[in-house]
Chains A and B, each alone.
Chain A
Amino acid sequence: MASSAHAPADTFPKLLVRNARMFGDRPAMRHKDLGVWQTLTWAQLLDDVRAYATGLHRLGLKRGDTMAIVGANRPRLYASVMAAQMLGVIPVPVYADAVADELSYVMAHAEVRFAAVEDQEQVDKILSVSDRLPKLETMVYDEKRGLRDYDHTRLHAMEDVIAGGRKALAEDASLAAWLDAEIAAGKGSDTSIILYTSGTTGQSKGVVLSAERCIGAGSDTVAFDKLTERDAALAYLPLAWVGDHYLNYAQGLIAGFCMACPESGDTAMADLREIGPTFFFAPPRTFEQMLTRVTIRMEDASFLKRRMFYYFIGVARRYGEAILNKQQVPLHGRLLYWLGNVLVYAPLKNVLGLSNVRVAYTAGEAIGPDLFSFYRSLGMNLKQLYGQTEAFLYLTAQPDGQIFSDTVGPALPNVDLRIADNGEVQFRSPGQFVSYFKDDLKTKETMTPDGYVKTGDAGFFDGKTGHLKIIDRAKDVGKLKDGTLFPPKYIENKLKFFPNIREAVAYGDSRDFVAVMINIDLTAVGSWAERNNVVYGSYQELAGHPLVYDMIQKNIEEMNRSLAEDKVTAGAQVKRFLILHKELDADDGEVTRTQKVRRGFVAERYAPLIAALYDGSSEADISTEVTFEDGRKGVLAARVKIRDVATVPVAPPLGKAA
């Protein structure tokens, strides 16, 4: 509907001004404060941001500077991004849970002069590395608590900065005109934001995105999913992640819909229920956790409810997806589904907070086919998309009605996608990044001579559907010694689809066979232990329990049978496994902040375990350094058992597979 209206606005501040004019009284943001949802309309938001930008300008912030944004999803931090952009300042969001080293790396690399942070925790973290940040001059913070006694020569409360700006604007009429000129001076080709990659592949890089490209990509998907100012989203994804900036911030400003900020990180799922968003994104992991929670609670439900739940979930599995895809369904199927909706699906979606969802996406990792169809069969329009920071997340998405659990959809409008000879996916797109900040070498490495960007992901277009399928990181697809194809991600994802397995790391490249390290899921296995009177005192003890080993072994054997069904993957069956004594943790650098396993690092860290997987021993000792939340380090030692797994015998690999 708004396509004509947002044509002239080529920067986000201009969009904000437009929204205040067009949807002045509609909610722009909601935030739960002291247990009550507070609403900020577009007009109020613009007013606040103008005052904030003026206040920041009075503190010395000027066009061309960079400003770090550190904290959780709070309206004032989003306002900080807007205020910076209004002044022609480049915002640089940093992951709120980044440890001091990561934080100082990004802030120093981006040469930030200002930082807008959430609270005392972040102020302390930045102060602790201030000697590495010579360019940092001023910090503004949202939450006053605990900060009163700090030296306030370079530290200001956002509230005071905004109040100061508002007063100045009221007193000096020329200031408002100056601010209007600042907004008008912003060009579409200006750098809108620098987003640092999460560092799956080493040191994080600053991805420079321009305003017109961000808005170009955002406008296309707003049209693709028909998002309007009447939609609502829950902004709970990390502020520094491209997904949040794109799906919530950019789409929100373009379509004019309302972003609701959760009360705190822990309450996101409860807030989801209260807000009832119409547009929802979650990584597969979150959908998985939601389902695990439902399954566990159903185990505790009364006999009748349990029977009813499983019966109607069965009905949904038979007819639900077909109904959603508008295919032929027999009448009694429709009637049963209707009854199921009244008795089970609608109440269930209500409990999960998904009742109003019109468009839902998942991305980041492969989603289990069962998991995917579970949500779809309930009547939720869950789809997959594929993208990366360098493309402003905008490459492929599944259109309504063309949904497959193992594809990520066809190229989106205006995206030019191709597969290179080595299987790598490459693109040219509206949201394409400008460069890596201060790293021309990396920028050159990533671009092809003819102007395509290399994604680093291996994939192919599915013959039947024309959709893109992503197999793995291009450099991760390996081969066993006998030449059998070894796609580690594929195996890991298959394993992770078992509720008991939270994380799996597969090894096999240039080895004789495939072996895996497993992280159990404490919620699922813990609940199983409770039901079966298995006593344990710690994660480590539960992970090493023989009965847990038996259970995981059964899971792996089941996966081996499914791998054996396909000639290409039959050779990659898992022969040996172990269960790790600790959870892989971002603080120890084992997974990224977006919870992706850093395979190389893990291999190095657990080298003795991997050696033992391949030398036939039945147990191995390991001691690793762990980092506590406050940054101190300790050592964790354990003896880990290793087991063999039954495999399905297969014919020698075909030449084609090798």
Chain B
Amino acid sequence: MRAPSASDIAAGEILLSIENVSLSFGGVRAIRDVSFDIKKGEVRAIIGPNGAGKTSMLNVINGFYQPQHGRITFKGETRTKMRPYDAARGGIARTFQNVALFKGMSALDNIMAGRTLKMKRGFLWQILRVGPALTEEIEHRRRVEEIIDFLEIQAIRKVPVARLPYGLQKRVELGRALAMEPELLLLDEPMAGMNLEEKEDMSRFIIDVNDHFGTTIALIEHDMGVVMDLSDRVVVLDHGVKIADGTPDAVKANQDVIDAYLGVAH
């Protein structure tokens, strides 16, 4: 598959659109009347100061939170309510701000877990591991091995993830999300807590995922250098309100964004 160029994206098909979404927890209004869209094949960044509602936005997209108002359209289908299970089944995968892996399991098993939804045979078949279930498992294993090769984590294939350094855990988590062969990949701060070299590696993997598999990516990130280099378009949230939306250069020059980050007298 080929990743579309910037002009393709501008004209491109909308994969997901958020229309007038609002979300509150009791009196706290996490997201207020936000609208934006994510086009097929692009890398879309969501940025904003702490508490801007970025993670809440991701949770709305993958159905973990139900917004009180607004509509979410994914692949042409509009839903007001969606469960995470449906989101996953529909082709949305994600990674978490704090790595959420099965700590005691090996890197390989963690990534295999990402294939669960793709398994056709039932639970009992899988336990027995004979006949068609075995054939199927071999096929899934092959896909997982491709991802392991892609992310260059062959050496840690059989290592329990709890024993891995943080940067590698993040990579395994990305691998698990990729194992779902998602159409839309949500990355919640993929570079948090990484050193420069790890950040560069991760950036390269994100570019490669977008390029190689044609996966659409929405990411939250605090490292502005990374955001500006990686993304095609950026949406900026501040206190739950969208304050800017556009190309990295346009966003960088936007006065509201500068104010939100540097702070002004209110």
Contacts and interface: CB of A to CB of B under 8 A. Distances in A.
Contacts of B141: 35
A34 B197 contact: no
Nearest to B142: A34
Interface stretch (A217-225, A259-267, A409-417, A434-442): A259-267
B200 interface: yes
Contact of B150 (A33, A145, A263): A145
Given A145-B212, A146-B208, A628-B197, A264 B155 contact: yes
B212 to A, nearest CB: 7
Interface in B45-104: none
Contacts of A629: 197
A630 B201 CA distance: 11
Interface string A265-278: 01100100000000
Q: Is the interface of A mostly helix, strand, loop or mixed?
A: loop
Given A145-B150, A264-B154, A34 B212 contact: no
B154 A630 contact: no
A267 B142 contact: no
Contacts of A32: 154
Contacts of B204: 146
Contacts of B146: 34
B13 interface: no
A78 B212 CA distance: 28
A145 B141 CA distance: 21
B145 interface: yes
Contacts of A35: 141, 145, 148, 154, 157
A148 B1 CA distance: 11
A36 B148 CA distance: 12
Nearest to A144: B212
Interface in B144-164: 145-146, 148-150, 152, 154-155, 157
A122 to B, nearest CB: 15
A143 to B, nearest CB: 10
Contacts of A146: 204, 208, 211-212
Interface string A30-69: 0011111000000000000000000000000000000000
B154 A267 contact: yes
Nearest to A143: B149
| Chain A interface size range | 10 to 19
Given A146-B208, A628-B197, A267 B155 contact: yes
Contacts of A630: 197, 200
Contacts of A145: 150, 208, 212
A266 B154 contact: yes
Contacts of A267: 154-155
Interface in A244-266: 263-264, 266
Nearest to B208: A146
Interface in A615-658: 628-630
A145 B150 CA distance: 9
Interface string B223-250: 0000000000000000000000000000
Contacts of A33: 149
Contacts of A149: 211
A628 B211 CA distance: 27
Contacts of B197: 628-630
A32 B212 CA distance: 22
Interface in B167-189: none
Contacts of B149: 33-34
Given A35-B145, A145-B208, A263 B154 contact: yes
A632 to B, nearest CB: 9
Contacts of A148: 211
A443 to B, nearest CB: 42
Contacts of B142: 34
B155 A34 contact: no
Given A35-B157, A36-B145, A145-B212, 16 more contacts: A33-B149, A34-B145, A34-B148, A34-B149, A35-B141, A145-B150, A146-B208, A146-B211, A146-B212, A148-B211, A149-B211, A264-B155, A266-B154, A267-B155, A270-B155, A630-B197
27 contacts: A32-B154, A33-B149, A34-B142, A34-B145, A34-B146, A34-B148, A35-B145, A35-B154, A35-B157, A36-B145, A145-B208, A145-B212, A146-B204, A146-B208, A146-B212, A148-B211, A149-B211, A263-B154, A264-B152, A264-B154, A266-B154, A266-B155, A267-B154, A267-B155, A270-B155, A628-B197, A630-B200
